[in-house]
Amino acid sequence: MLDITSDIADDGPSSRTAEPARDNDRVLLDAYSNAVIDVTERVGPAVVRVETGPKVRSARERGGLGSGIVISPDGLVLTNSHVVGSSKEIRLRDTEGFVTDAHVLGVDPDTDLALLRADGARDLRYASLGNSKSLRRGQLVVAIGNPLGFESTVTAGVVSALGRSIRSVSGRTIEDVIQTDAALNPGNSGGPLVSSASEVIGINTAIINGAQGICFAVASNTAQFVLSEIIRHGYVRRAYIGVAGQTAPIPRRHAVVAGVDNKMGALLAQIEPDSPAAKAGLLPGDVVIKLDGVEINGVDDLIRALDRDRIGRTLAMDVLRMGRLRAIDIHPVERRQVARQ
């Protein structure tokens, strides 16, 4: 039997509408590809490979490998503090294979960021830090780095979520973290997360082992703050009161008697001798519920409240002691910086 339906269908209106649809898909795909290509060409040359450890490796001495982003023509480089670690020997390799030594200007384990300066390198290709507050979920982002040692690798995805919090190696929480599904692997750490406007809006820092498409980057606004603090002081200034504690629930009867609304607080487990907390009269077992007018619903809230603006000031602190509300004045000091080994 002779089938002529295909010839008739080719001339029908449905076939004519299919062609424009395919053309539109092609245009959209080309626009997406062009956006990623443009970002790669503009920011890619500013991404460096960060190598740590001795140049000549031995069986007992192993080095590390990560990524970094040049943020100024005179050789300032942002990367992760866990990439740098305690290494004394650091080298930067650019996309053209040029290698230069670098030294650490400062590290901040609390945000997993480090600032390096390339030795003797000038007029480097660099990228600009953008405003991470302007990001929106679903926005296109590009990650550039050296995953698993494969240099200048580019992956693309979207901003999956904003305002996440993750735990840093120091135990503190890193606030305002960007979640993305752009593929990251070991070696991407310290590399840039870039917007379609070719602005660095995050520093890639972590992945969740066993999960697919859940990766995190420290927001560029956080990186800008850490950068300015390290340039000015050599480290990030934070307040210190000398306590160790944990987040704990507040018994309902204690909250009712004290007239407070907190369901959780920061339970103090240890007070360091001669610390601001000891001098203020704080005791193990006290539950902090407010500091300087800020409600404290756990240890993370207490840590977050102890920022540089509260150094050297006398602050009002509300604590629950044996179920009764007490007002205490405390005078935080600047936290001592732990020297790199």
User: Of 67, 81, 82, 220, which residue is the catalytic one?
Assistant: 82
CB 93 within 8 A of CB 47: no
User: Of 94, 108, 112, 301, which residue is the catalytic one?
Assistant: 112
Instruction: Determine whether 189 is an active site residue.
Output: yes
Q: How far is CA 268 from the centre of its chain?
A: 28
Q: How far is CA 305 from the centre of its chain?
A: 19
CA proximity to 201, closest of 170, 167, 176? 176
CB 53 within 8 A of CB 87: yes
User: Of 81, 132, 189, 195, which residue is the catalytic one?
Assistant: 189
Instruction: Determine whether 112 is an active site residue.
Output: yes
Compute the C-alpha angle 207/216/33, nearest 5°.
100
Position 34, amino acid: N
Kindly write down the DSSP assignment for every residue of 232-267, as one continuous string: HHSS---EE--EEEEEEEPPHHHHHHHT---SEEEE
Joined together, the tokens standing for residue 93 give 């390799």
CA proximity to 80, closest of 118, 48, 109? 109
Helix (H, G, I), strand (E, B) or coil at 227: helix
CA–CA gap between residue 264 and residue 139 (Å, rounded) = 35
CA proximity to 78, closest of 166, 162, 173, 190? 190
Q: How far is CA 293 from the centre of its chain?
A: 28
Instruction: Determine whether 82 is an active site residue.
Output: yes
Active site (catalytic) residues: 82, 112, 189
